[in-house]
Amino acid sequence: MARDEDIADLRAGAPFDVLVIGAGIAGAGVALEAARAGARTAIVDARDFASGTSSRSSKLVHGGLRYLAQGKFGLTRESVRERTALLRDAPGLVSPLEFVVPVHVGGRNGKLKLAAALAVYDYFAGARSRRWRDAAQLGAELPALARDRLQGGWSYLDAQTDDARLVMRVLQEARSHGALAVNYVAVEDLLRGHTGVEGARLRDAVTGAMFDVAARLVVNAAGAWSDRLRGKIGAAPKLRPLRGSHLIFAADRFPLAQAVGFYADDGRPVFAVPWEGAVLVGTTDVDHRDDLDDEPGISRAEVDYLMRAAQGAFPGIRLTEDDVVSTWAGVRPVVASGADVDPSKEARDHLVVMEEGLLTVTGGKLTTFRSTAVAALRTVRARLPALRNAGATTRILAAPKPETEKALAGLPPAVARRWLELFGDDAPGLRAAACAGETEAIGVAPTTWAELRWSFRAEHVVHLDDALLRRSRIGLLLREGGQEAFGRIRDIAREEAGWDDARWRAEEERYRALIACRYALPARP
């Protein structure tokens, strides 16, 4: 459905049962569970879908092995179970990922300590995946790995995803149950009534139009911005915004067959992960003190930190900053403990709190979005009977319809599989939209041209970065944000979105500035 049609439905006047503010993974999960329970649901975001933390994560769907060291057994158990469910219900979109953690003589974590932690991890998962490899075997499989005092390493299974595409699939599922989902709609104020918050005054960022939307329940899922919305009802801040930054390397310069976890010079865990045909290295964990309305970007200190860590773990590759294709940074909405602790020691538990009719859901993990959404909605079932069945369905995403797979017959098998995994029951529409030659990949990225066309046609693309940084990831996977492909992208935008030359020039200028400022290496002082 076109965005303007969704805006018209949003403004139609009939009250919603649930209005969700924030279309990252937390909000998308709430919208899906509410709509699936039968509640009339809408979800809006001041910017683009997944444009906050949920397109800037480490792309891992994991149980949080390091949380065991903090004694967070409940969080780890929940995460491992949700990871298993996502692997079952979103195959391909969420994929198994083998990690290996090298063990060095005299290192921070010895063989037995890691074995004990991984045994608990496997117990929660209900299956053993841990396996010990001696130094010779590990060196043969990862020849660029540092060999000094190498004892061997433990491998275990976790999972990874395209986080922004996961959000889009969850929103797609919510729409199939009748939910409205609209991007670039900001909250100007909350509407108050005798039961507390009873709706919101919204502004369409595209047209500037203001309108009120009534709702029996307003859910604050605005991530790092949640305290700002809570401030409208006089609530005290509860979050500690923490920035996590990443580097992307070309696979031909950083050949890596599996994910590797290692330690930076301050003892924090860092990892290198094959992802979308490239290799990502991350992450940092620092207080984010910049304006939340400014696009976050990696700092020079974070670049140096991650480069030192990668160079130390893989000295044989001789990585330099010239090998970095792109960077990104995201701000995590971590619930503040109130203590003066290192950012890495803050817990990753979610926050669910009802304040004067405003239900805030934030602070959780990508992996546990479904269980967090169900827990949140169950707290308000007495207030809103339409939610009495929230969480009754155990599947996270419905399996594609039998006719969906049939509609992809005749495509190259790898393309058919990719489209089915990433787009589900939208895949036949994508195939119908594809023009000649559009099953081909864009440069070294696995994204096909047809996927980009579909995003402009059917996925509410408003700005060029929506298409290149979130609907697809070619802005991260190709140098200079994919500018080498701009000629063909311009043609698609003209055909599908009606962008004339003036609109394209404005979008290109905006996008180039964004890439140079926030997704490239920062200049040295």
Give me the DSSP letters along 479-502.
GGGGGGGHHHHHHHHHHHH---HH
With b for 16 or more beta-carbon neighbours within 10 A and e for fewer, the 1-39 pattern comes to eebeebbeebeeeeebbbbbbbbbbbbbbbbbbbbbbbb
**DSSP letters along 418-438, please?**
HHHHHHGGGHHHHHHH--TTT
What pLDDT does 74 receive? 82
Question: In 3D, which of 312, 317, 229, 251 has the Cα closest to residue 27?
Answer: 229
What pLDDT does 335 receive? 84
What pLDDT does 344 receive? 65
Angle at 383 between CA 378 and CA 389, to 5 degrees: 40
**DSSP letters along 36-91, please?**
HTT--EEEE-SSSTT-SGGGSS--EE---HHHHHTT-HHHHHHHHHHHHHHHHHSB
Mind listing the pLDDT tens digit of every residue in the chain (525 residues)? Answer: 589 999 999 999 789 999 999 999 999 999 999 999 999 999 999 999 999 999 999 999 987 777 777 777 888 888 889 999 999 999 999 999 999 999 998 777 788 988 988 998 888 888 899 999 999 999 999 999 999 899 999 999 999 999 999 999 999 999 999 999 999 999 999 999 998 999 999 999 999 999 999 999 999 999 999 999 999 999 999 999 999 999 999 999 999 989 999 989 888 889 999 999 999 999 999 999 999 999 999 999 999 999 999 999 999 999 999 999 999 999 999 888 766 666 666 666 778 999 999 999 998 789 999 999 999 999 999 889 889 988 888 899 999 999 999 999 999 999 999 999 999 999 999 999 999 999 999 999 999 999 999 999 999 999 999 999 999 999 999 999 999 999 999 999 999 999 999 999 999 999 999 999 999 999 887
CATH topology assigned to domain 3-53+164-238+346-387: FAD/NAD(P)-binding domain (3.50.50)
If residue 335 lies in a helix (H) or strand (E), which one and from where to where?
Answer: strand 324-335
Token digits for 85? Answer: 């469910």
Question: In 3D, which of 268, 373, 365 has the Cα closest to residue 64?
Answer: 365
Angle at 497 between CA 494 and CA 502, to 5 degrees: 55
Q: Do 82 and 94 touch, CB atoms closer than 8 A? A: no
**DSSP letters along 148-191, please?**
TTEEEEEEEEEEEE-HHHHHHHHHHHHHHTT-EEESSEEEEEEE
The number of CA neighbours under 13 Å toward the Cβ of 175 is: 20
Q: Do 364 and 226 touch, CB atoms closer than 8 A? A: no
The number of CA neighbours under 13 Å toward the Cβ of 128 is: 7
Q: How far apart are CA 358 and CA 339, in angstroms?
A: 26
Q: How far apart are CA 429 and CA 285, in angstroms?
A: 41
How does DSSP classify residue 145? S
Question: In 3D, which of 489, 516, 140 has the Cα closest to residue 297?
Answer: 516
- Parse the chain into domains and list their residue ranges: 3-53+164-238+346-387, 434-519
